[in-house]
């Protein structure tokens, strides 16, 4: 089965990991800071805090922003459920706003319509690697006194109006799951230029521990002394995975370029195929394509999905609108509340896209689609 996405591992990655495995540190050692510094080169110098997953990154970002009971978080339903779940687990009420028809990103007009006095965060999702409209969302959040959170699980390496993802929101979260643009096996990161948010994020990912005597309430116990002022969790990404991350970040440019070439080949080969809508790209965006998300028209998505899988091609559907998960239905959320998102979901199909996808395997995908829809 040809997968829809997978990691790209070569000798550089293996050598980096072996260097840690044969060294003195496996958990929190020098590779952590080195990885965060390498990643910051892609965020325009915005500092990064590595964590154990993209979900942990979202949880850490919301916690750093002080999200809690009584607060509202406005976000997109076209996302993996973690974008909403981590806010809900902190006690916030998630408010879903509809998406744009072309990009499936959070629609600023829809977000503004549901923003109110309790809004503490507007959480955009860079669907498929295409950055959301951050300038408009920043204005909306600013008027509400809220922060902008960028769920950039799909978009590390992307740019918006010439500015890198990671420098667009108050807090940006990344995911390094194997299907993403770069991988640490499991892993994620939070980027923020705000020193206080950065301090809170670093503390939250390490149990909330306070080690600086100048910040402790009972200093003088000894060099071993540490205190917890607010609760945190163990979200520390270990050295062995950060070593893989260092190598992967150094390959990000080549990954992005290969994905762009594959997207261009898809666009050329599928542009005239009836019954298929190709992904949108706005002129002010330079995406690091994570997904090649097409729209299958005329109610044929399930048929195309099943026939492609029968042909050994691992297409995927990304994503069920988040409010349609039973956990949200049990809280009173209902189908149809975001009609553009519902329509997008009903058509969406992700074709295989990853750096090691060969031209010949991509041709298999193209030929299979033409055979079904042609």
Which residues are designated catalytic?
180
The strand order across the sheet containing 163-164 reads 163-164, 159-160, 285-286
Tell me phi and psi for residue 137, to 5 degrees.
-65, -35
Instruction: Give the SS3 label for residue 368.
Output: helix
Which is it for the CA torsion 191, 194, 197, 203, positive or negative? positive
| Cα–Cα distance for residue pair 349/355, rounded to 1 Å | 19
Cis amide prior to 351 (ω within 30 degrees): no
| Assigned token pair, 59 | 């949880």
Q: How many CB atoms lie within 10 A of CB 186?
A: 17
Report residue 52 as tokens. 């154990």
Instruction: Tell me which residue of 193, 195, 209, 183 sits closest to 150, measured CA to CA.
Output: 193
Angstrom distance (rounded) from CA 105 to CA 150: 11
d(CA 313, CA 364): 8
């Amino acid at each position: 089965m040809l997968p829809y996405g997978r990691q790209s591992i070569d000798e550089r990655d293996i050598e980096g990991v072996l260097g840690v495995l044969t060294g003195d540190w496996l958990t929190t050692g020098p590779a952590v800071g080195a990885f965060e510094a390498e990643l910051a080169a892609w965020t325009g110098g915005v500092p990064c805090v590595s964590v154990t997953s993209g979900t942990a990154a979202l949880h850490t970002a919301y916690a750093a922003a002080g999200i809690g009971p009584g607060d509202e978080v406005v976000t997109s339903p076209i996302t993996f459920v973690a974008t909403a779940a981590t806010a809900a687990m902190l006690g916030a009420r998630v408010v879903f706003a509809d998406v744009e028809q072309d990009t499936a990103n959070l629609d600023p007009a829809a977000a503004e319509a549901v923003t109110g006095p309790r809004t503490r965060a507007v959480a955009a999702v860079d669907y498929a690697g295409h950055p959301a409209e951050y300038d408009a969302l920043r204005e909306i959040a600013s008027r509400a006194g809220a922060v902008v959170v960028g769920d950039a699980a799909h978009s590390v390496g992307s740019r918006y109006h010439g500015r890198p993802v990671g420098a667009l929101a108050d807090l940006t979260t990344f995911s390094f799951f194997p299907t993403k643009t770069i991988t640490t096996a499991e892993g994620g990161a939070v980027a923020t230029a705000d020193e206080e948010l950065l301090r809170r994020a670093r503390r939250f990912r390490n149990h909330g521990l306070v080690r600086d005597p100048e910040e402790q309430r009972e200093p003088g116990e000894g060099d071993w002394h540490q205190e917890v002022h607010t609760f945190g969790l163990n979200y520390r990404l270990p050295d062995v995975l950060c070593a893989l991350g260092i190598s992967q970040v150094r390959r990000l440019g080549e990954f992005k370029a290969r994905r762009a070439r594959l997207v261009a080949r898809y666009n050329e080969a599928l542009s005239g195929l009836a019954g298929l809508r190709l992904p949108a790209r706005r002129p002010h965006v330079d995406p690091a394509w994570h997904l090649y998300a097409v729209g299958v028209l005329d109610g044929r998505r399930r048929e195309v999905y099943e026939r492609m899988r029968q042909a050994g091609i691992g297409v995927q559907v990304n994503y069920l609108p988040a409010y349609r998960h039973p956990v949200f239905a049990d809280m009173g959320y209902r189908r149809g509340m975001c009609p553009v998102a519902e329509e997008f979901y009903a058509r969406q199909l992700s074709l295989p896209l990853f750096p090691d996808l060969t031209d010949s395997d991509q041709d298999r995908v193209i030929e299979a689609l033409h055979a079904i829809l042609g």
